[in-house]
Amino acid sequence: MVQVANLVYKPARAITQNIHHYIAGLESAVLNGQATAKVMDTLKQKGFMPDVVIGHAGWGETLYVKDVFPDTKLINYFEFFYHANGADTDFDPEFSNTLDDVLRIRTKNSINLLSLHASDAGVSPTQWQKSLYPSEYQSKISVIHEGVNTDIAKPNSKAAFTLPNGQKLTAKDKVVTYVARNLEPYRGFHQFMRALPEICQRQPDCHVLIVGGDEVSYGRKPDGGLSYREKLMQEMSFDQSRVHFLGRLPYADYLSVLQISSAHVYLTVPFVLSWSLLEAMAVECVVIASNTAPVSEVISSENGLLVDFFSPREIAEKVDEALTNPAKFALMRQNARKTVIKNYNVQQSVQQYQHLLETLI
């Protein structure tokens, strides 16, 4: 049996009030790194010398690993290198960059660059996310997705989900699903909402299940004090009795939503790939996904349907097709799961990490 000790660090203080907003994230990372270094130094004084340290490069915890343990191998998880052009922030014209955004984004990569320099090796989850990093560092980075558990995320013909009003839905019903940690434009929530009137009109007996919170994980907050959900509910008109906002769900309930889905919509600006896409594929959803990076790295015509992020009509048309002729997509559903089992299974990811460790140590 492997024993794991959980040691908690605590930053010495909060970030400075009124600090320049370009470097607020850097100061937070330095505070995290400093606190982590003190915990590591305590271990070192007790004679502990790790073979390898693995961490996420984004929030500073690994900034000073090499200063405490200079001979220890350091593997950093490199999730996203920020760009003012050609990736997430300038993709949607509704949310264009200002000059201040451009300057802030360049400064934001300071943590990434310090971490790249210190690392012996790095990991990125997709080829596209790796490609965002400066070319002089890419040789350090292996592409290893952390994977999803396909023994848990799998089809279940007996799955059911009970709505807040008591109505029970199963895979025999027409169910459209959309999932995001938070309902926000980075995950195409505004485009999905704009597709809903036509979806509801084309499929008058369908139910739409929307999973996600009202906070903002990525991008800017909406103006006016309302959430994006509240703003878009004011903008759009559709049969609200068939559109169900479920908030955040326990994992088992979330899986049940996917398992009864007739058509699952996944939209994103070019950004970090969501686990929910892979889990939807693993349970054999008909996935209707935006033709954006890195989604197009995973979805092909064999295992899903790619649509224009900016076309609510195309989204509605594909949803309508999936609900009207479900038998047509039986093979596509199976191929979706096969893709995840082959390329994004957590067991495979563990083996890839083991190989990386054996190479380094």
pLDDT confidence bin for 286, thresholds 50/70/90: very high
pLDDT higher than 90, residue 77: yes
Residue 238 is predicted with a pLDDT of 84
Condensed to tens digits (0 to 9), the pLDDT of residues 130-153 reads: 999 999 999 999 999 999 999 999
Angle at 29 between CA 24 and CA 33, to 5 degrees: 150
Whole-prediction pTM value? 0.92
Determine how β-strand 121-124 pairs with β-strand 175-182.
unpaired
Residue 240: the pLDDT is 84
Over pLDDT 90: what percentage of the chain? 91
At residue 222 the predicted structure's pLDDT band, cuts being 50, 70 and 90, is confident
- Split at pLDDT 50, 70, 90, the class of 155 is very high
Instruction: Indicate if the pLDDT at residue 236 is higher than 90.
Output: no
User: pLDDT tens digits for 55-66?
Assistant: 999 999 999 999
Note the pLDDT of residue 224: 84
Residue type, 313: R
Q: Name residues whose C-beta falls within 8 Å of residue 55's C-beta, 6 or more positions apart in sequence.
A: 61, 62, 65, 74, 75, 76, 77
Kindly report the average pLDDT of the chain as a whole number.
95
Q: Is the pLDDT of residue 239 over 90?
A: no
Instruction: Please tell me the distance from the alpha carbon of residue 300 to that of residue 291, in angstroms, as a whole number.
Output: 10
Closest residue by Cα to residue 267 from 284, 287, 290, 248: 290
Q: Indicate whether 2 pLDDT > 90.
A: no
Which pLDDT score is estimated for 71?
A: 95
The token pair that represents 285 in the structure block? 């959803």
39-62 CB burial, b ≥16 within 10 A, e <16? ebeeeeeeeeebebbbbebbbbbb
pLDDT tens-digit series, residues 290-326: 999 999 999 999 999 999 999 999 999 999 999 999 9
C-alpha–C-alpha distance, residues 57 and 75, integer Å? 9
Cβ–Cβ < 8 Å for 89, 108? no
**pLDDT, tens digit (0-9, with 9 covering 90-100), for 96-117:** 889 999 999 999 999 999 999 9
Q: Domains, the chain, ranges and CATH?
A: 24-147+348-360 (3.40.50.2000), 160-343 (3.40.50.2000)
